[in-house]
Amino acid sequence: MTGKISIRPILNVYVLGLCAGAVLSAVLSFAPGRWGVFASYAGTQAGFIAAVILFSRVMLKSRVSAVVPMSKLSPKALPLSIAVAAGVYMQNLLLSTGVSELWAKAGVGAAIAIPYLGDPANAVIALLTIAVLPAFAEEFLFRGVFACSDYKSRFFMIFYSAGVFALGHLSPVQMIHQFLLGIILSYLVYATGTVWYSVAIHFLNNAGALFAEMIPGYAEALNFDGRGAWLLPVLCVAGIIILYPSLHALVKLHTGKGYDRKDGFCAVITGRGEKKWYAPFADDAFCADARRSDRAETLYVWMIIVFLAVLTAINTVLSVKGVGL
């Protein structure tokens, strides 16, 4: 099946999943003790999973694999997911730390309420609800369902899905890292034709963020005073050196022959790649008419960005007041 799905039903389902997840998260947060905290995180992801199922099973009457690229991964390539995850985290650390310090001056922090992870039970539950579940739910949605539309172009959708992914977390402190991570993950799905590498990298990213502060001296280094002044730039350069060769090697091992330079990372993110974006489904009810310019659809696409930006601004103001969404 081939076709180009209109982006409007995808965005409708995303907003529905976002709202459902927010409501479910708020309700579950009233559970007693640590269960309320972890259940609230799980509630948000449950909304995203519901969005994926609604779009595939109900709207398109097809399997989830019809809207999420799930071709087999290569056991040889999979270990490189660790190098990619480490590389993107190290590359972004300098910029994300700088942004974090700027927001801290305005009273906006990145800290999220998580029970003490030194407790083994808390550590396991946190790993499941904050690392494993989002890796599947968010990748299936942002690098799967979103990829079913190549609205405007494949180049546009890589950046647009990364933007919605970043804004949807409603945290200006974390936004830069999430946006750059989203671009890397979208590219990997584009280059390999499967979502499984991005799921693995997303999991490693979240797990690293959860437990990194337990490393002695880590928290003290995340600033521009003392060690951080020279360590953060060094980590950034090291991350770049690790990340992009690892991306190339992962795709090469996955395909067994590498990729054409026209579909390499730099070519793709500058809009010159020629490989087809993943859009496997054709349905008259949802396929866009490429022969006409739909101004209403364009307006709707940018309204979602404005909607998420407003929510982020509201959440930022509330967090300063000690509330938050």
* Domain annotation covers residue 75: yes
Single pTM value for the model: 0.90
Residue 325 falls inside a structural domain: no
CA 12 to chain centre: 18
Domain for residue 1, yes or no?
no
Q: What is the pLDDT of residues 71-112, one digit of tens each?
A: 888 999 999 999 999 999 999 999 988 888 888 887 776 656
Mean pLDDT of the region 12-37: 86
Domain for residue 258, yes or no? Answer: yes
> Domain span at residue 311?
7-320
Name the nearest CA neighbour of 8 among 323, 295, 318.
295
Identify the CA nearest to 23 among candidates 40, 6, 9: 40
- d(CA 84, CA 194) in angstroms, rounded, equals 16
Rounded average pLDDT over 26-44: 84
- The C-alpha atoms of residue 179 and residue 165 are separated, in whole angstroms, by 7
153 pLDDT more than 50: yes
Write down the mean pLDDT value for the chain.
Answer: 83
Q: Are 297 and 287 in contact (CB under 8 A)?
A: no
Specify the number of domains making up the chain. Answer: 1
131 pLDDT more than 80: yes
Quick check: is 252 in a domain?
A: yes
pLDDT tens-digit series, residues 41-58: 899 999 999 999 988 888
Q: Is 279 left (phi over 0), alpha (psi -120 to 50) or beta?
A: beta
Q: What are phi and psi of 287, to 5 degrees?
A: -75, 140
In a domain? residue 2: no
Q: Round to whole Å and give the CA distance between 131 and 277.
A: 27
Q: Which residue has the higher pLDDT, 297 or 113?
A: 297
Instruction: Tell me how far apart the alpha carbons of residues 97 and 183 are, in angstroms, rounded to a whole number.
Output: 19
Nearest to 191 by CA among 107, 273, 110: 273
Q: Determine the pLDDT at residue 288.
A: 52
Nearest to 40 by CA among 24, 58, 62: 24
Rounded Cα distance between 186 and 247, Å, is 12
User: Please, which pLDDT band fits residue 269 given cuts at 50, 70 and 90?
Assistant: confident
